[in-house]
């Protein structure tokens, strides 16, 4: 209910213009309506409110980078990463944001392998703690695969084993891992190893209930984008076209979607 969400979000900003969560809520409305230019203008127009002396600023920078990627402005998104995200603290969400931007850039053909190596090192301390939150575990695995061109390094294998071990039991996260996190985690090394059809076969059954493993619609779009890329690389044009058509209808006219339309047409 994005139109309905906009008014209370803007009302919250009016009550406290420096509330980063209120600014973030309006940002999500723009994101989900496919209004990437208006969303970028919103964040840039309130820069002094959310980006200065604010502990949540890194996540709004992440959203600005998403808008820039939707415009296919990869240099701008990479600059946001290097200046605003790469050196922020070590909370899990900060690592998630760094990993997610790098993976999207990788899907667009940008060489970010060295940056992924640095991000993987920040996740490595969490390998023994895998199983706390399936969404975070998946991003830790993405960082490992992004840093390892073959998708089969020791860090990847160790983390995948830890994720698998965390899927047994009846806790909320164990169910999240079993239903969404683990199937996706098993598909990603196939993608990293260039086994595109296997990666697509692993991701496709999970995509429609990926909400079960956490994150927002904007964050989980990374699953859809990876699936499209795997299908394109596997030469499965019909599947790639189908998944792209299902991507938020409001985004069908963005430069980012046009890029994928061309990629699919060439599959």
d(CA 99, CA 142): 7
pLDDT at 72 over 90: yes
CA angle 191/195/199 to nearest 5° reads 50
Structure-token pair, residue 79? 């600059």
d(CA 185, CA 226): 12
Contacts of 143 (CB under 8 A, 6+ apart): 95, 99, 102, 116, 119, 120, 122, 123
Predicted confidence band of residue 250 (pLDDT cuts 50, 70, 90): confident
Residue 246 has a pLDDT of 86
Predicted confidence band of residue 150 (pLDDT cuts 50, 70, 90): low
Would you give the DSSP letter of residue 253? T
Average pLDDT over residues 61-82: 98
pLDDT at 130 over 90: no
Contacts of 111 (CB under 8 A, 6+ apart): none
d(CA 177, CA 171): 10
Decide: helix, strand or coil at residue 235. Answer: coil
d(CA 147, CA 134): 20
* Closest by CA position to 50, among listed 11, 87, 81, 24: 24
pLDDT at 3 over 80: yes
Instruction: Please identify which residue in the block is written with the tokens 């969560």.
Output: 21
CA 48 to chain centre: 26
Round the average pLDDT of the chain to a whole number and report it.
92
3-state class percentages of the chain: helix first, strand second, coil last, to nearest 5: 75, 0, 25
The CA-to-CA distance between both ends of the chain, in Å, stands at: 35
pLDDT at 126 over 60: no
């Amino acid at each position: 209910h994005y139109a309905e969400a906009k008014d209370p979000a803007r009302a919250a900003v009016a009550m406290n213009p420096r509330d980063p969560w209120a600014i973030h809520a309006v940002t999500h409305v723009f994101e989900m309506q496919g209004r990437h230019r208006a969303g970028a203008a919103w964040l840039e127009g309130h820069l002094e409110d959310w980006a200065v002396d604010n502990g949540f600023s890194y996540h709004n920078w992440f959203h600005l980078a998403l808008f820039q990627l939707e415009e296919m402005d990869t240099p701008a998104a990479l600059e946001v990463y290097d200046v605003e995200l790469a050196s922020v603290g070590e909370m899990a969400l900060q690592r998630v944001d760094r990993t997610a931007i790098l993976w999207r850039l990788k899907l667009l053909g940008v060489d970010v392998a060295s940056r992924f190596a640095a991000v993987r090192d920040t996740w490595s301390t969490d390998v023994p703690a895998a199983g706390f939150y399936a969404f975070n575990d998946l991003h830790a695995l993405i960082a490992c695969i992004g840093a390892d061109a073959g998708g089969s390094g020791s860090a990847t294998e160790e983390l995948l084993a830890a994720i698998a071990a965390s899927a047994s039991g009846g806790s909320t996260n164990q169910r999240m891992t079993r239903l969404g996190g683990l199937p996706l985690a098993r598909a990603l090394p196939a993608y990293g190893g260039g086994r595109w059809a296997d990666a697509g076969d692993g991701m496709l059954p999970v995509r429609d209930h990926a909400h079960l493993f956490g994150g927002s619609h904007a964050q989980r779009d990374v699953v859809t984008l990876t699936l499209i890329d795997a299908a394109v690389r596997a030469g499965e044009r019909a599947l790639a076209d189908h998944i792209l058509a299902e991507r938020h209808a409001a985004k069908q006219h963005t430069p980012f979607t046009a890029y994928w339309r061309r990629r699919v047409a060439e599959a």
